[in-house]
Chains A and B, each alone.
Chain A
Amino acid sequence: MFREKGVRIAAWVVCSVLACFAVAPFVWVIATAFKTPAEINLQPPDFLPAQPTLENFHRILHDEHFLRYIGNSLVIALGSMVSILFTSSLAGFVFAKYRFPLRGLLFLVILATAIIPLEAYMIPLYIMVFKARMLNSYAALIFPMVIMTFGVFFMRQVIMGIPDELLEAARIDGASEFWIYSRIVLHLAKSGMMALGVFAFSEAWANFIWPLVIVSSKDMYTTELGLAVYQRQFFTEYGPVSAGAVISIVPMLLVFALLRRHIMQGIATTGLKG
């Protein structure tokens, strides 16, 4: 776009500095997670741990029950992801490929709820869960995350790209609508499904305020909640806390690294949030 030499040099300098700014905190927290308490409080600090230790991970996983929290987070994130993938693709398919009365209006209502964040309507949701005596349950933790407004919009965009002739041909061969959805549409929308799946999983994994209000017993804590509560204790030990942060980030990074092409494509086509 701008090939002037000055711009190119400025680009390299600015982007390199910002890349350091983006990555340095990770390097620092990973280094801290492997340090002994004595080394963490060293002034000035060593950059890399002199005697790397797994003590911090052991403490956070066993003494602080993070294994249990990770399990809870996985159950919630996977449950939410599967449900969102199913509902979003189905609703997206129907909105993309069928004509029916009120279609535009219904889609608009769904879309309008997209800009309203969970924080603004979580009180009635909490009251519903409270009245159903479901506090501290997986069902309550997953419940607001079984659908995703953005997911419906996203899958509709993806499925609109599938040619009608394909679906028509299947229909002439006598395929049922559900067969068309499960065998043709899902197959052709695979890349979009992956991007949405990653997004739904990480949204549910990263969600903090809903577990905070719904959960009071420690055995239902999620990784995020456990980490936030643990680091708020009167004396914060940065070793185990750093190990906890690393544990909470690594699954996201792994998923992102594996599927980055799908994700970047999803962002490029519809502004999929990260």
Chain B
Amino acid sequence: MSIASGQVLSPPTSARRGRLATSLARLRRQHILFVLATLGPILLLFGVIRVYPILETIRLSFYNYHITQLRRPFIGLENYARLLDDDSFLTALLNTAQFSALSVVITLTLALAVAILLRSIERAAPGFELLFYIPVVTPWVPAAVIWKWIYDPMYGVLNLGLSLFGVPRLGWLQEPNLIVYAIVLVSVWKLLGYFVVIYGVGLRGVPEELLEAAELDGATAWQRLVHVVLPLMRPIILFSVVICTIVCFNVFAPVYVLTASAQGAPAYDFKVLVGEIYQNGFVFYHMGYAGAECVVLLLCVLSLIAVQLLAFRER
């Protein structure tokens, strides 16, 4: 009986298995077709809009490339050699580094302090985070426009407020020594909220039991912060340092708005890297030279990230 039933049943089973196998293979083929049909065009876009321009920028930096001239000779490292003698480029590099260092350190320290303080007033925290986030959603141009009006030497509220404390009128955007702090203040104002929220996410992940255990052992608030909270926050702090460095090294829009212009808005001509790239590449059309500046910008950002990764490595 069992043999008979086996004989009766076995052919359909194998047939079904076969059909299942072919339909599975068809499904898989469909998958592959779907993956190719969707990912193909998207990867092509990435190739054309991201990968190719990045590589092409590096190639251009070895050429004397002017967009309207047909002769574009290969000149090796000459663009880079010229960069070393270019005073406005060197000034821009120094300015960008100074601005970024100040802005990253102040923004992230303040954000960390605020995020930690917010955890002690948990109920009010979402409201404060929302207020801090308003400057983050403000684009750079109107943000800088607002601050330009605040910094105005004659009618600006900053000088007015300071005069209450007996500080004489200062040309925040006119004094070569002050303008970097003026731009740093704008960027801290603009970026702070984002990092408060990011740090807040990290701090909520610190297990409460650890803190209670440390408290039972008699650790003060400061000791708990330094020995429990901060080590756990290491990955998020690293993420923030990297993001903030990239953003700051590419500073341009606020500088464009707040500094001098060809039409003579009175302010100091504070040079930054991207400003130099814009000037050489799109005003003078020396695109090979500007390409070399882009490569320097890229190398700066990448090496800073590498240093930060090393510094934050788990020991």
Known: A120-B298, A274-B194. A98 touches B221 (CB 8 A): no
B109 CB–A CB distance under 8 Å: no
Q: Tell me the count of chain A residues lying within 8 A, CB to CB, of chain B.
A: 94
Known: A228-B256, A241-B149. A90 touches B38 (CB 8 A): yes
Decide if B298 touches A18 in the complex (CB within 8 Å). Answer: no
A239 smallest CB distance to B (angstroms): 10
A178–B37 alpha-carbon span in the complex (Å): 10
Per-residue CB proximity of B58-78 to A under 8 Å, as 1/0?
001000000100000000000
Decide if A228 touches B147 in the complex (CB within 8 Å). Answer: no
A190–B140 alpha-carbon span in the complex (Å): 29
Decide if A202 touches B139 in the complex (CB within 8 Å). Answer: yes
B85 smallest CB distance to A (angstroms): 22
Chain A residues contacting B139 (CB-CB under 8 Å) are 202, 205-206, 208, 224, 248-249, 252
Decide if B192 touches A22 in the complex (CB within 8 Å). Answer: yes
Interface residues of B in 135-161 (CB under 8 A from A): 135-143, 145-150, 152, 155, 157, 160
Chain B residues contacting A7 (CB-CB under 8 Å) are 117, 120, 221
Chain A residues contacting B242 (CB-CB under 8 Å) are 115
A176 CB–B CB distance under 8 Å: yes
A72 CB–B CB distance under 8 Å: no
A213–B280 alpha-carbon span in the complex (Å): 12
* Chain A interface, DSSP helix/strand/loop, else mixed: helix
Query: Among B32, B42, B52, which residue has its beta carbon within 8 angstroms of that of A90?
Result: B42
A10 CB–B CB distance under 8 Å: yes
Which segment of B10-18, B86-94, B97-105, B124-132 sits at the interface? B124-132
Decide if B263 touches A19 in the complex (CB within 8 Å). Answer: no
A169 CB–B CB distance under 8 Å: no
Decide if A208 touches B253 in the complex (CB within 8 Å). Answer: yes
A242 CB–B CB distance under 8 Å: yes
Interface residues of A in 259-274 (CB under 8 A from B): 260, 264, 267-268, 271, 273-274
Chain A residues contacting B234 (CB-CB under 8 Å) are none
A16–B35 alpha-carbon span in the complex (Å): 52
Per-residue CB proximity of B222-251 to A under 8 Å, as 1/0?
001100010000000001001100100010
Query: Among B134, B243, B290, which residue has its beta carbon within 8 angstroms of that of A123?
Result: B290
By beta carbon, the residue of chain B nearest A14 is B117
A256–B136 alpha-carbon span in the complex (Å): 10
B282 smallest CB distance to A (angstroms): 5
Which segment of A24-32, A49-57, A158-166 sits at the interface? A24-32
Chain A residues contacting B136 (CB-CB under 8 Å) are 274
B34 CB–A CB distance under 8 Å: yes
Chain A residues contacting B146 (CB-CB under 8 Å) are 25-26, 28-29, 242, 245
Known: A2-B116, A29-B149, A213-B282. A123 touches B32 (CB 8 A): no
Known: A113-B51, A119-B297, A236-B265. A87 touches B120 (CB 8 A): no
A238–B49 alpha-carbon span in the complex (Å): 38
Query: Among A120, A121, A209, A245, which residue has its beta carbon within 8 angstroms of that of B253?
Result: A209
Decide if A1 touches B145 in the complex (CB within 8 Å). Answer: no
Decide if B246 touches A115 in the complex (CB within 8 Å). Answer: yes
By beta carbon, the residue of chain A nearest B141 is A224
Chain B residues contacting A67 (CB-CB under 8 Å) are none
Known: A91-B39, A227-B145. A113 touches B117 (CB 8 A): no
B19 CB–A CB distance under 8 Å: no
B82 CB–A CB distance under 8 Å: no
Decide if B137 touches A256 in the complex (CB within 8 Å). Answer: yes
Decide if A32 touches B149 in the complex (CB within 8 Å). Answer: yes
Chain B residues contacting A249 (CB-CB under 8 Å) are 138-139, 142
Query: Among A110, A143, A212, A227, which residue has its beta carbon within 8 angstroms of that of B46?
Result: A110
Chain A residues contacting B274 (CB-CB under 8 Å) are 119, 209
Decide if A25 touches B229 in the complex (CB within 8 Å). Answer: no
By beta carbon, the residue of chain B nearest A171 is B27
Task: Write 14 A-B pairs (CB below 8 A) sorted by A numbering.
Answer: A2-B221, A15-B114, A18-B132, A29-B142, A94-B39, A110-B46, A116-B54, A123-B57, A125-B49, A147-B42, A242-B146, A245-B142, A245-B146, A274-B136
Q: Given A119-B277, A123-B281, A231-B145, output 8 extra A-B contacts at Cβ < 8 Å.
A: A1-B206, A15-B114, A87-B42, A120-B54, A206-B140, A227-B142, A227-B145, A246-B142
The 9 residue pairs across chains A and B that have the minimum distance between CB atoms: A206-B139, A11-B117, A245-B142, A1-B119, A177-B34, A124-B56, A121-B53, A124-B53, A274-B136
